[in-house]
Amino acid sequence: MQAKDFNGLYAIIPTPSRAGAQAIDATDTVALDETERLVRALIDDGANGLIVLGTTGECATISNEDYRSFVATVADTVGKRIPLFVGATAMGGHEAYKRLAFARDQGADGTLLGLPMWQPCTVDMAVRFYAEVGQAFPDLAVMVYANARAFRFSFPTDFWARIAKEAPTVTSAKSSQPTNLAENIAATGGRIHFMPSDMVAAKFQAISPATTRSCWATAAGMGPEPARALIDAILAGDAERTAYLDERIAWSNAPLAPMLGNPELFASYNTQMEKTRMAQAGYCDPGPIRPPYDVFPADYVEASREAGRRWCQLRDELSGDHAAAPAEAVS
Task: Cite the active site residues.
Answer: 174
Picking from 217, 223, 179, 175, the residue whose alpha carbon sits closest to that of residue 195 is 175
Residues 6+ apart with CB under 8 A from 79: none
Percentages of the chain per state (helix, strand, coil), in multiples of 5: 50, 10, 40
Burial class (CB in 10 A: 0-12, 13-18, 19+), 79: exposed
**H helices present in 11-84, as ranges:** 32-44, 64-78
Q: Point out which residues pair with 174 in neighbouring strands.
A: 145, 195
Cα separation, 262 vs 144, whole angstroms: 23
Residues 6+ apart with CB under 8 A from 41: 283, 284
Picking from 115, 81, 98, the residue whose alpha carbon sits closest to that of residue 11 is 81
Q: Phi/psi of residue 195, each to 5°?
A: -95, 120
Picking from 22, 10, 85, the residue whose alpha carbon sits closest to that of residue 271 is 22
Picking from 302, 306, 272, the residue whose alpha carbon sits closest to that of residue 289 is 272
